Copies of this chain bind each other. A is one copy, B any other.
Amino acid sequence: MRELYIATHGHYAQGIVSALNLLVGDDHGVTPICAYCGDIGSTAELAARFEAIVQRTISQRKELVLFTDMPGGSVNNTAIQLLVNYPHVHVISGANLIMLMEFCLSEQTETLARIQDAITAASGAMQYMNRQPEILAARQAVSSVPADDMDGFFAAERPL
């Protein structure tokens, strides 16, 4: 058994959970922790929140998976201090929606395998769509239609 959290600067965590609710339903089990807003106004208060969660997961003998927004940030730095003494804690930085979705929907039973799946999926989801083959093909089809005025950056544009 495991508990899942996403901890971030501001309402980013709440925003990801809002999107998760829409995409996978509201039983995904990810709890947002929004730092420097609401009732967590300082790094000390964030550390206290983490410590309370750690102690509860120890008493319930659950693993704790903690996603954070960015390596090097104070949220992540506070989270990784837990790693030294608590082997049941996992911290993954650079979270986004795909990472959490993949972790929640993964069919892997082991936490480490789920984490690897989540990082791989999230990394692969970062795409410059303009270079996708289907976009290039669609553009090619459009550009084969003669245009009257092609002499500027915006001249080739047509309304949808």
Residues 99-136 (chain A) with a chain B CB within 8 angstroms: 99, 101, 115-116, 119, 122-130, 132, 135
Contacts of A29 in B (CB 8 A): none
Q: If A9-B22, A95-B96, A129-B76 touch, does A160 touch B85 (CB 8 Å cutoff)? A: yes
Q: A2 within 8 Å of B by Cβ?
A: no
A40 within 8 A of B: no
A101: chain B residues at CB < 8 Å are: 70
A132 / chain B contacts, CB cutoff of 8 Å: 80
A44, CB-defined interface residue at 8 Å: no
Chain A 66-100 against B: per-residue CB contact (8 Å), 1 yes, 0 no? 00011101001001111111111011111111110
Min Cβ gap A152→B in Å is: 9
Nearest Cβ on chain B to A106's Cβ, whole angstroms: 14
Q: Output the least CB separation between A57 and chain B (Å).
A: 9
Q: How large is the interface on A (under 10, 10 to 19, 20 to 34, 35 or more residues)?
A: 35 or more
Contact check: which of B82, B97, B99, B153 meets A12 at CB < 8 Å? B97
List 10 A–B pairs whose Cβ atoms lie within 8 Å, in order of A's numbering: A10-B18, A11-B19, A12-B97, A22-B36, A70-B98, A84-B135, A85-B160, A88-B157, A96-B96, A116-B128
Which A residues contact B (CB, under 8 angstroms)?
A: 8-16, 18-19, 21-23, 36-37, 51, 58, 61, 69-71, 73, 76, 79-88, 90-99, 101, 115-116, 119, 122-130, 132, 135, 138-139, 142, 153-154, 156-160
